[in-house]
C-alpha cells in the first residue's frame, strides 16, 4: 500500500550474469559487452511519498542501510524475454496507451543497469507517461574512473542502438515514438539516427520527438555532422544545455573541445533544433542530471510529449533573440 510498481521494457548489450536467475535483480547484468542484444522487462517500485525528480535511495546519514519500497525507488525484478515475445508485449502495452506512444531512453556515462532501470521508471512516473517506457542499457562501467572505457564502449554500441531504434520504428506499433538521450548516451542516439536515416530514408520523420539532454558531444561535430540528420529523423528536436554543468566542463578539458550541452561560452544555435538553456535550475553539485531531477524541466518535457508543442508555445519558456538565431530560457524558480 506504500508504493506502486512501474513495469519498463529494456534492451541491452550487457552480458547477463552466468547465474542470472539466482542473482539479485540489480546484479543480473554485468558491465561486459555481449556484442548482441538481450530483451526483457524490469519492475521498479516507486514509493507513494516520492518527490518528483528524486531517485530516492538509502541515505547513511539517516541510518538507512537497506532499500525499503515504502521510502526508496527499488529495482524489484528483471526478466528476460525472447525477441518476439518482447515486441509482442511492447505492442500490447502501446495499444493500451491512449495516444499509442513509447519512448526509448539511452542513459549516459557512469550508470549501472540497476540505475538505468530505476531512472526510466522514475521518468515514466514523473512525466505521467501513458505509453510504453523503454530503456537501452549499454555496458557503462558505472565508475567515475571508467570514462575512457565508456567512450570506447559507446562507440562500439552505436550499430546495436541503430538496429534497436529501427526495430522500435518497425515493430513497436507506436505512432508517437520518442527518443531521449542523456550525456554520453546522446552520442549513441545521434550517431545511430544519422546512420539510420541515411540507410532507411523511409524512416525520415518517423520519430515524434528527439530529446538531447546535456549532450556530451563535440559542439562542432554536432553542428556540422549530426544536427542535420536529427532534423531529418524528427520534426521536433530539443536540446537542453546549461552553463553550470560541471560534468561537461570536465569533458571539455578531457576531450579538448566545447560540448554541445555546455552553454557557458554560448548557446548552441542550429536551424531545426529548439535549444533550451536551463542554467540555474539544477542545484546539485554537478548540475548534470537536471532533465531527470528538475521538476521545471520535467514540466517542459511533459508539455512537449502531450501536445507536441514547439518551444515557442511552451510555458514558461522565455524567448531570447540573438543576431545568429533564437533560443529559449527556462527561468530558475
- The pLDDT value given to residue 60: 80
The answer to whether position 194 is within a domain reads yes
- The pLDDT value given to residue 157: 98
Ranges of H-type helices in the chain: 83-96, 113-126, 147-171, 185-199, 219-221, 227-233, 246-255, 290-293, 295-307
The answer to whether position 72 is within a domain reads no
Walk along the chain (333 residues) and give the pLDDT tens digit of each residue: 899 999 999 999 999 999 999 999 999 999 999 999 999 999 999 999 999 989 999 988 777 789 999 999 999 999 999 999 999 999 999 999 988 999 999 999 999 999 999 999 999 999 999 999 999 999 999 998 999 999 999 999 999 999 999 999 999 999 999 999 999 999 999 999 999 999 999 999 999 999 999 999 999 999 999 999 999 999 999 999 999 999 999 999 999 999 999 999 899 999 999 999 999 887 676 778 888 888 899 999 999 998 888 999 998 899 999 988 999 999 776
- The pLDDT value given to residue 285: 62
Per the structure, the complete domain to which residue 107 belongs is given by 8-12+81-329
The answer to whether position 145 is within a domain reads yes
Count of structural domains, the chain: 1
- The pLDDT value given to residue 291: 86
- The pLDDT value given to residue 226: 97
- The pLDDT value given to residue 40: 98
The answer to whether position 182 is within a domain reads yes
SS3 214: coil
The answer to whether position 74 is within a domain reads no
The answer to whether position 61 is within a domain reads no
Is pTM beyond 0.85? Reply is: yes
Find out whether 48 and 4 touch, Cβ atoms under 8 Å. Answer: yes
The answer to whether position 283 is within a domain reads yes
- The pLDDT value given to residue 274: 96
CATH code of residue 164: 3.40.50.1820
The answer to whether position 19 is within a domain reads no
In the structure grid, which three cell numbers stand for residue 116, read together?
Answer: 538505468
Amino acid at each position: 500500500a506504500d508504493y506502486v510498481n512501474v513495469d519498463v521494457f529494456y534492451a541491452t548489450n550487457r552480458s547477463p550474469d552466468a547465474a542470472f536467475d539466482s542473482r539479485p535483480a540489480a546484479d543480473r547484468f554485468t558491465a561486459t559487452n555481449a556484442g548482441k542484444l538481450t530483451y526483457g522487462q524490469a519492475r521498479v517500485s516507486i514509493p507513494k511519498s516520492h518527490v518528483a525528480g528524486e531517485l530516492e535511495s538509502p541515505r547513511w546519514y539517516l541510518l538507512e542501510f537497506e532499500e525499503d519500497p515504502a521510502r526508496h525507488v527499488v529495482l524489484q525484478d528483471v526478466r528476460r524475454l525472447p525477441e518476439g515475445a518482447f515486441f509482442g508485449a511492447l505492442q500490447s502495452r502501446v495499444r493500451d496507451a491512449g495516444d499509442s506512444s513509447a519512448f526509448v531512453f539511452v542513459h549516459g556515462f557512469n550508470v549501472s543497469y540497476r540505475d538505468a532501470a530505476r531512472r526510466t521508471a522514475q521518468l515514466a512516473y514523473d512525466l505521467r507517461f501513458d505509453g510504453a517506457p523503454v530503456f537501452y542499457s549499454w555496458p557503462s562501467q558505472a565508475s567515475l574512473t571508467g570514462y575512457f572505457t565508456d567512450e570506447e564502449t559507446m562507440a562500439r554500441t552505436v550499430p546495436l542502438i541503430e538496429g534497436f531504434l529501427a526495430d522500435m520504428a518497425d515493430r513497436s506499433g507506436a505512432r508517437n515514438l520518442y527518443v531521449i538521450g542523456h550525456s554520453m548516451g546522446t552520442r549513441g542516439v545521434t550517431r545511430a539516427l544519422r546512420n539510420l536515416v541515411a540507410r532507411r530514408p523511409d524512416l525520415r520523420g518517423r520519430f515524434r520527438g528527439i530529446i538531447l539532454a546535456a549532450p556530451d558531444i563535440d559542439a562542432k561535430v554536432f553542428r556540422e555532422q549530426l544536427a542535420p540528420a536529427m532534423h531529418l529523423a524528427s520534426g521536433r528536436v530539443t536540446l537542453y544545455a546549461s552553463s553550470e554543468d560541471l560534468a561537461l566542463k570536465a569533458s571539455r578539458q578531457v576531450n579538448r573541445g566545447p560540448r554541445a550541452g555546455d552553454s557557458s561560452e554560448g548557446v548552441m544555435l542550429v536551424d531545426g533544433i529548439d535549444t533550451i538553456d536551463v542554467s540555474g535550475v539544477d542545484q546539485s553539485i554537478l548540475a548534470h542530471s537536471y532533465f531527470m531531477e528538475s521538476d521545471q524541466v520535467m514540466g517542459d518535457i511533459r508539455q512537449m510529449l502531450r501536445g507536441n508543442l514547439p518551444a515557442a508555445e511552451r510555458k514558461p519558456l522565455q524567448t531570447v533573440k540573438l543576431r545568429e538565431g533564437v533560443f529559449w530560457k527556462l527561468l530558475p524558480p
